[in-house]
Amino acid sequence: MRLNKKALLVVSFGTTFPDAISAIENIEEEFKQTFPEYDFYRVFTSGMIIRKLKRTKGIEILDMEKALDYLYQEGYTEVICQPTHIINGMEYEKVKTAAAPYRKLFRKFILGEPLLTTEQNFRDTAEILLAQMPEYKEDEAVVFMGHGSAHYANGAYSEMENMFRALGREQVYVGTVEGFPGLSYIEGRLKKKGIRKVHLMLMMIVAGDHAQNDLAGEEDSWKAYLLEQGYEVSTSIIGMGLLDGIPKLYTKQMKKRLLLSE
């Protein structure tokens, strides 16, 4: 029996799209390779997704409470927990709330931060996204779709757009499905700039329901709306978890937190 049992939890909202889970797996694999001395556990925060996966596919995924309770019962003494969320919004608040009663039960418990937390995080993420963008002409623009939130952390999307500006990209915009700025606001700015063609891209970890339907669906989507307004439209439906560099940003942040805890 190991005297110091170490566990790694990689916590995601979750997805039921078979093609989308690879983005989460890519981040998980990066963590497994970076912290091989830790036993890995997958955690989802969406109860709806957990129940659907069990009902339709017989797949059992732990939620935060069950995972931490299991680790305590199994005698783990050190836990590192990394959310794959992008902003410090409501889903991250749920993770913190669920973890709070368990933190004192372990000798060491470290909770990582979402991708966009510090100014350097924004800069590093923006540079990775810029490297994925298509070349665009003077009358073209790149529009990213983020999830959005009623939480005040929603302002991170506007900060990201301003980071693109700081890196010299004036024709890159960031909108959200469930927050401000929405597509109608973005489209108003495109019109003022005389944009002819729009390249739609994803600012979400997985290319799940929002990507397949809200971004690129044939009806009631950003793509369909922009086409109706007379724009040429191209789409790139790749979850950020699959982009070179994004998983490493998460592990880089966790390594820094581990060093500070020593």
Give one word for 58, left, alpha or beta, with left for phi > 0 and alpha for psi -120 to 50: left
- What are the C-alpha distances in Å from 49 to residues 27, 46, 57? 19, 5, 11
Span 136-166, pLDDT tens digits = 889 999 999 999 999 999 999 999 999 999 9
Q: pTM for the complete prediction?
A: 0.93
What residues are annotated to the active site? Answer: 147
| Residue type present at position 208 | G
pLDDT average, residue stretch 105-118? 96
Task: List pLDDT tens digits, range 63-88.
Answer: 999 999 999 999 999 999 999 999 99
What pLDDT score was predicted for residue 1?
53
CB-based contacts of 142, cutoff 8 Å, min separation 6:
133, 134, 136, 169, 171, 172, 173, 198, 199, 201
Residue 17 confidence class, pLDDT cut points 50, 70, 90:
confident
Name the one residue in this structure whose structure tokens are 């009663």: 101
Please say if the pLDDT value at position 3 is more than 80: no
Q: pLDDT tens, 216-258? A: 888 899 999 999 999 999 999 999 999 999 999 999 999 999 9
